[in-house]
Structures are given as C-alpha cells and as structure tokens.
Chains A and B, each alone.
Chain A
C-alpha cells in the first residue's frame, strides 16, 4: 500500500492541492468571507456547466472555437513547415525571411489586432489570422532548426555511399527533423488556442472567448467561469494529444539504456 502511494505521489499530491483550493473557494463563500457575485463557487460552476452542456451552449461555443483553432493551426502548420523546410535547406530563403521572424519575436502579435479587424472585420477571418500568427513562429522556427541542424556525421556517411543532395534532404534531413517539428507543433497548438481565445475576447461573435467577454460584461460570473473551465479542459486535451504524438515519433531519440 505504501509503495502504491509512493509511486503515485505526484499525482496524489497534485489532486489534493487542487481539491484543497476548490474547498477553500467554496468555504470562503459559504462562510460569507467573499461575495459570490465576483467569484462564484465550485458548486454553482458545476451546476451551470451541466445546464450549458444540456442546452447546447457548450457545444456551440466549443465548435466555434475549435473551428477557428483547426483552421489557424492547419494554416500555420502548412505555412510553417513549408517555409521552415525551404529556409532550412536554402540559406538565401532563411536570410530573406529573417527580418519577419525577428519582428514577430520582438513585437507582440496582438498589436496587429486592430489592423486585422479593419481588413477582415469582426469574426472568424480575423480570429484565424491572429491565431495563425500566434502559432506560426514556433512551427517555422523548429522546422528550420530541424532541417538546418541535420546530423553532419549522418550526412557524411550518406555521402560516402554516394548519396546526392536530394537523397540527403529526403532520406536524412527530413526524417531526422520529425521529432523537433512535432515539438514545434506542440508549442503551436498551445499558441493557436491562446490566439483564438484572445481574438474572440476582443473581436469575436462566437466561441469561448466571446462568451467569457459577453458574460463578464453582463456580470454573470458563474457562466463566465464555466467557459474558462472549458478552455482549460480543451487546452489540456489538445496538449496531451500532441504529447502522445511526440512520444510516438520520438521513440528513437530515447537515450540508450546501459
């Protein structure tokens, strides 16, 4: 029994601290220490969660958010990997793209937000554009690094067997960079979700971010908390899915066990 507990120590302690916070939250309202109008309570949030789940609000928000998310991530993956491969293989392409990436790293993406609204209006196109920009950089940067930092020993070995540049690209550089590209995608997933929610907060007409903003303006704290909880759950699910994909593609990177 003690061994069972020890092997799951992290999980158990983590769960306990979560439950502790929820209990404190509930108690502090029940004891009249804090006004529930501003913080709601876990039990109210749970009830409201069930209500929204049944009346279809959850489905509506989640599908709107996921729609923008999938579009943005898809675009960022295509463009990021495409440009990353080109820039990793051709030095000139990398140099040409350098200033944009540099600006992108230095300036906060949300600064472009009003510009996109002016161009694309309120709604999905703007949300996708912002989320696309959020997700693009890590995917591009990782792909670039993966192709560029191809193992020189492997290139030399392949060359000694008569490999041509195209062989090196297809058979050594591309497969060799899969794990780091997937790591970039993992970052991209988190950032695309952030991008969608932030964009929905300010200029959406649907989605979880829009709901948060809407309920906040109508001082419906419990309903707002539900949307926040759903975003957290969505983020955890997506990150876990990508972590699983990474563990699949990364198997051969595991350090040899002696």
Chain B
C-alpha cells in the first residue's frame, strides 16, 4: 500500500453569488510511496495546487477518497506540513519566533522549543538571522524560514506549493539544491508543486503532469537520474529527453487552452 493514496478524487469550488460550482480537480488517482520525492507540474489553473492543499487537509474534497498511511484525510494533521508559495510568516515575529510558532500550534511537547527551532534554522543556513524579522529578509531567506518551520514539526509528508515560484532564476536553483541536500538527510515523502519543467525533473523521483479543464493527470513520468542530483545533470541527454516529453505535454495543454479561448 502506498503512503498517500488518491482515488478518483474530485474537488469543487463554489462560485460566488450562487452560480454553481467549478470543478478544479476531476477524478484524479495517484499513489505516492513513502520516501518518494514527487513533483506535480502543469500550466496555471490545472488544479495542481488544489490537489496539494487537499492532501494538506486545507481544501474539502467533493468526491473520491484520500488516505495517508491508510487514514482518510479530514483536515490538517501532525503527519503533514506545508511550505506555502507566499512564505506566510508572522511579520511581527522573528525568524526564531516563526519557526517556534509551528511547534507551538502543533502542541509540541518534547524538549525545548527554541532549541529545536534553532536546530532547523541552522539547517536552512539562517543561524545568524534568528533575531531578524521577515521584512528584513530577502524572498529566498523567507522561504528558508518557511521550510525550517515545516521541517521542525517532523512531518511524515512534506507538502510544498510552488515555494520558489516568486524567486529569481539563480536563487531558485540554489534553493532547489539546498532543498535536496536537506531532503537527502532523512528522505521524507515530499510532494512539490511547480510550473517550472526543469525544477520538476531535477527534484523528482516521479513527475506528475496535470492538464486543465477540468484538472486531471495527463501522465506520470519516472525520473531515473542518479542521486544526489548535480547541476551538470541539467545539460545531460537524459535530462533533455525528460524535458522534451514534459514540454510536449504542456504545449498540448496550452494549445487546447487557446482553442477554448477562441471558441469563447
């Protein structure tokens, strides 16, 4: 049995002013094994973030089942934590305060919270910034805090919703390397949503390609590149082949999107 099992999952949003519902995710099935690093890639509006938030327990499901270690997901739980696209840090708290905040909300009882928080702040390389407030940090540093906060509560599954989406290309690459370095330590199950094809391949054991209208899974591609991953791999023939396949999928999706637009 896979650690995360998604079966015929549908998610609907209620449209404003009682105009009915909008299907964001339509009958999706997916298995994620323990210790697997899975990325979900797709154009905007394909429901990739919605699917991740449903697994986080932050979005109600309309139909189908969703289990983690055999238990149905009915809300947020201590076995999962989320790294959001917006760092979502409390602006009035320091880096240390923010990482502690996750532990406090989890009602973490083992040992000294500040000590544990500091351990993870050091892990993401912000040891000397513990007393800084979020507005004093760069976007990349804020996302490091976001990651430290998510890891400190020791989740079985780490869910990441386009965490590097707002960063520039260079910072993004550095953060990808850093994330893998941290992940290699204990190889927790990781689910990572992105719209960046290279990022999706570079990080993943398995890339899930989603399409739109309504959100569905088009393909699941296993990535057989050796770990630890290195920057040079981006230039390899194997990587180019994965990139070509993903691009073809997404291009097809974009094409239908334009057709829909012209029809309207």
Residue of A nearest to B105 (CB): A161
A175 in contact with B81 given A159-B76, A161-B76, A161-B105 (CB within 8 Å): no
A160 in contact with B82 given A252-B133, A254-B135 (CB within 8 Å): yes
A158 at the interface (CB under 8 A from B): yes
Binding stretch for chain B, among A2-10, A55-63, A149-157: A149-157
Interface residues of B in 68-113 (CB under 8 A from A): 76-78, 80-82, 84, 86, 88, 90-92, 101-102, 104-107
B56 at the interface (CB under 8 A from A): yes
A171 in contact with B135 given A153-B88, A157-B84, A176-B92 (CB within 8 Å): no
Q: Is the CB of A162 within 8 A of B133?
A: no
Residue of B nearest to A164 (CB): B105
A256 at the interface (CB under 8 A from B): yes
Residues in A whose Cβ lies below 8 Å from that of B58: 156, 159-160
Q: Is the CB of B91 within 8 A of A161?
A: no
Q: Is the CB of B92 within 8 A of A175?
A: yes
* Complex alpha-carbon distance, A253 and B135, angstroms: 8
A172 at the interface (CB under 8 A from B): yes
Which of A159, A172, A253 is packed against the most chain B CB atoms within 10 Å? A159
Q: Is the CB of A162 within 8 A of B107?
A: yes
Q: Is the CB of B92 within 8 A of A252?
A: yes
Residue of A nearest to B107 (CB): A162
Residue of B nearest to A159 (CB): B76
For residue A126, give the distance in angstroms from its CB to the closest CB of chain B.
Answer: 40
| Cβ-Cβ contact count across A and B, 8 Å cutoff | 63
Interface residues of B in 133-182 (CB under 8 A from A): 133-137, 149, 153
* Complex alpha-carbon distance, A252 and B98, angstroms: 14
A172 in contact with B90 given A161-B102, A161-B106, A256-B136 (CB within 8 Å): yes
Contact indicator per residue, chain A 221-258, by CB within 8 Å of chain B (1) or not (0)? 00000000000000000000000000000011111100
Residues in B whose Cβ lies below 8 Å from that of A175: 90, 92
Interchain CB contact (< 8 A) of B101 among A153, A156, A161, A176? A161
A157 in contact with B106 given A162-B76, A254-B135 (CB within 8 Å): no
Q: Is the CB of B91 within 8 A of A158?
A: no
Residues in B whose Cβ lies below 8 Å from that of A161: 76, 81, 101-102, 105-106, 149, 153
Residues in B whose Cβ lies below 8 Å from that of A176: 90-92
Q: Is the CB of B88 within 8 A of A156?
A: yes
* Complex alpha-carbon distance, A160 and B84, angstroms: 10
**What DSSP secondary structure best describes chain A's contact surface?**
helix
A98 at the interface (CB under 8 A from B): no
Residues in B whose Cβ lies below 8 Å from that of A255: 135
A167 at the interface (CB under 8 A from B): yes
Q: Is the CB of A158 within 8 A of B135?
A: no
* Interface magnitude class on chain A: 20 to 34
* Complex alpha-carbon distance, A167 and B90, angstroms: 13
Q: Is the CB of A160 within 8 A of B81?
A: yes
A153 in contact with B106 given A162-B76, A256-B136 (CB within 8 Å): no
Residues in B whose Cβ lies below 8 Å from that of A172: 90
* Complex alpha-carbon distance, A158 and B82, angstroms: 10
Residues in B whose Cβ lies below 8 Å from that of A156: 58, 84, 88
A70 at the interface (CB under 8 A from B): no
Interchain CB contact (< 8 A) of A252 among B86, B135, B153? B135
Q: Is the CB of A158 within 8 A of B92?
A: no
A163 at the interface (CB under 8 A from B): yes
A162 in contact with B92 given A252-B135, A254-B135, A256-B136 (CB within 8 Å): no
Contact indicator per residue, chain A 127-167, by CB within 8 Å of chain B (1) or not (0)? 00000000000000000000000000110111111110001
* Complex alpha-carbon distance, A254 and B136, angstroms: 9
Query: Which 10 residue pairs across A and B have the least CB separation, nearest first?
Result: A157-B88, A161-B105, A160-B82, A163-B105, A256-B135, A252-B91, A153-B88, A161-B102, A252-B92, A160-B76
Which B residues lie at the A interface, using CB under 8 A? 56-58, 76-78, 80-82, 84, 86, 88, 90-92, 101-102, 104-107, 133-137, 149, 153
Which A residues lie at the B interface, using CB under 8 A? 153-154, 156-163, 167, 171-172, 175-176, 178, 251-256
Besides the known contacts A160-B84, A171-B101, A176-B92, 18 further A-B residue pairs in the complex with CB atoms under 8 A apart:
A153-B84, A154-B88, A154-B90, A156-B58, A157-B82, A158-B105, A160-B57, A161-B76, A161-B101, A161-B102, A162-B105, A163-B105, A176-B91, A251-B133, A252-B134, A252-B135, A253-B135, A256-B137
